[in-house]
Amino acid sequence: MPRLNWLRNLLTYINSLQASFIYYRCMNASYRITSFKYARPLIAIHWLMFLFLVLTYAAIEFRVLFIKGTPERDLMKTLHFLLGLSVFLLLFFRVLARKYSPSPPNASSSGFASVLHYLSTIGHAALYVFMFTMPLLGWMVLSASGKTLLFAGVGLPALVPVDPDLAKLLKELHETMGKAGYLLIGIHVCAAFFHQWILKDRLFSRLRWR
């Protein structure tokens, strides 16, 4: 039956194609299920922090819509303080969750993956410093101005003695860092989209709930 050889070859070829496709599907699925994503607490904290940061900025930027001394403007500032402190609190939960849950491997497997990893480590460290320093600076501004900060109904202790000059200096620092924060967060978001759209390494799926 030499004439049927071509048919046998074709069937073998189709078989091997099918086998590799099934193998690819299985590998891909188990990779995604077992190791590609962050743990759920980290995913929740990441998006909560992002939301709170956006709202912290929105509250302080939109305060200018109201005249100075009006209850509405004071409410916007109070919201800014509370949301900013929530970011501070969430940062501690995030550090704990990061320590006690396994991290997925680097998203990118391209040639310059180690460079990207190095850059992202610097960017993330800067974000951690920012989210730690900003609320503390804001809290110090209020302390130096002689104002008591209430959080969840509890009066927080003053971090520095009352000193109008110090208050002015800290406020300027807080505001300058606030502007730098736009750049930092902007770079973080652009880097995420670069991974997702240019490198196509499915970075966003690491932070998807489902």
Binding residues for ligand HEM, per CB under 6 A?
A: 53, 56-57, 60, 77, 80-81, 84-85, 87, 131, 134-135, 138-139, 141-142, 149, 171, 174-175, 178, 181
Q: How far is the CB of 183 from ligand HEM (least distance, A)?
A: 12
Q: How far is the CB of 48 from ligand HEM (least distance, A)?
A: 13
Which residues are registered as beta bridge partners of 155?
150
Number of residue whose CB is nearest ligand HEM: 138
Of 80 and 206, which CB lies nearer to ligand HEM in the complex structure? 80
Q: How far is the CB of 187 from ligand HEM (least distance, A)?
A: 15
Of 44 and 55, which CB lies nearer to ligand HEM in the complex structure? 55
Dihedral Cα 10, 16, 18, 20, nearest 10 deg: -150
CA 132, 64, 142, 80 torsion: positive or negative?
A: negative
Q: How far is the CB of 161 from ligand HEM (least distance, A)?
A: 17
Report the Cα 162 to chain-centroid distance in Å.
34
Dist CA 83 CA 176 (whole Å)? 19
Q: Which residue bears the tokens 């501070």?
A: 88
